[in-house]
Amino acid sequence: MSMAQHPQQQTQAERQLEEQALRDRMRDIQFKLLVLSGKGGVGKSTVAVNLAVALSDGGNNVGLLDVDIHGPSIPKLMGLENRQLGMEGQKILPIQ
């Protein structure tokens, strides 16, 4: 699906291909941790950043995704506020 395409315009076949690609990518990630809460302002982002840094310092490959729709704070906590994400086709490239 193109970024500009409305989800309702996506065909069933396109949706199935996209979902399979996501399953394939997720299968390559051995461990997935979620830091979540039903309440805001409790330090979820701070915990997630500290956990990611500690795991990385321990020699692990770590990815951190902020899905806060009200204003992601991970870029600020990681000192990445002015960095731009790259694109490769329809894929978002992570900031290293």
d(CA 1, CA 6): 8
Q: Distances in Å between the alpha carbon of 78 and those of 14, 60, 66, 75?
A: 35, 17, 11, 5
Q: Report phi then psi at 38, rounded to 5.
A: -85, 0
What is the mean predicted confidence (pLDDT) over 16-23?
Answer: 92
Confidence class of residue 7 from pLDDT cuts 50, 70 and 90? low
Q: Please report the pLDDT score of residue 32 as a whole number.
A: 94
Q: Supply the Cα-derived Rg of the chain in whole angstroms.
A: 16
Q: Two tokens at 14?
A: 């396109």
More reliable by pLDDT, 84 or 47: 47
For Cα atoms 28, 29, 32, give the angle at the middle one, nearest 5 degrees. 155
pTM for this prediction: 0.71
